[in-house]
Copies of this chain bind each other. A is one copy, B any other.
């Protein structure tokens, strides 16, 4: 029983145990959790702040800001295709993007152990800057703390972000009939980090997909249905817990079923092989430059075409659709027609990757 009262690695894995911790220990004890349409209890990728007329010199009728935060404890901090700097800045930009918000500004909080190499710190900051330049978003405020080397084994970075939108894209926005799009090869990030960390010989040229998705997503957000709603109905970036976690969360919050087709999911042969060898489910493995989205069926082809025009989206595919079969459940259909539930991951198959 004592063990149940202690934090375990599963509590941070983005699955059921984490949801329970957040619900029973955090949400239960907080009474002020909302400043707009989307609050903490929505457990979305970020939350919104509604600015109303009359607020301290604010004279518009109403506008929505989106706020997000993410801490990064990646191991190793430098990996094929990126580093903790790139992944932390992309994390915030991507969380804003999947809420449908244009990133406006980021904050950066770093906790650094004594003895950490300043050259490495500089590499990390430069790597952040590449992404900031690409997307056109600034880091406007920061904080740096140092701790004894015995207290912390490596640098930890928190990035919070602010974005603006007319109305946020919610996890709960799926409707029956919507198509599900994934914007490229899944599981590259987690498998690339594992390969590097464990020093495996195979897949030595596999790289993380870590990238900022805003420029890829932005044009898709202007596609509107006849009643002037966004044709993109729901979005998530499938980081911890992979697309298994993202799709389940969307299905549960939207109270719909999702069916995806195995042979339509973009995945590298090398990733399939590694996952088979290591007993991992690629659906549960973290991505850092991908989006899973629901789109109105009449506009699915148009949006797919838009996404594919961007280099980060060139392997995008429609992988399934939303239905009313089993509300809250995700079903995977194989090429031969057999089906299985895609469960919410209960533990982290590869911890400390994002």
- Measured CB to CB, the residues of A under 8 A from B are 5-13, 18, 21-22, 25-26, 29-36, 38-40, 44, 46-49, 51, 55-61, 63-65, 67-73, 102, 104-105, 107-119, 121-122, 125-126, 128-129, 132-133, 136-148, 150-154, 156, 158, 160, 162, 164-166, 351-352
- Name which residue of chain B comes closest to A44, CB basis: B141
B residues near A150, Cβ cutoff 8 Å: 153
CA gap between A121 and B11 in the complex, in Å: 12
The 8 A-B residue pairs with the shortest CB-CB distance, nearest first, are: A12-B146, A160-B160, A69-B107, A47-B140, A57-B166, A60-B60, A158-B158, A32-B138
Q: Are B35 and A105 in contact (CB under 8 A)?
A: yes
Least Cβ distance of A109 to chain B in Å? 4
Question: A210 CB to closest chain B CB, in angstroms?
Answer: 17
Instruction: List the B side residues contacting A142 at CB < 8 Å.
Output: 22, 26, 40, 69
Q: Smallest CB-CB separation from A240: which chain B residue?
A: B145
Q: How far is the CB of A116 from chain B (nearest CB, A)?
A: 4
When A69-B142, A118-B5 are in contact, do A129 and B11 touch as well, CB less than 8 Å? no
Chain B residues within an 8 Å CB radius of A125:
25-26, 29-30
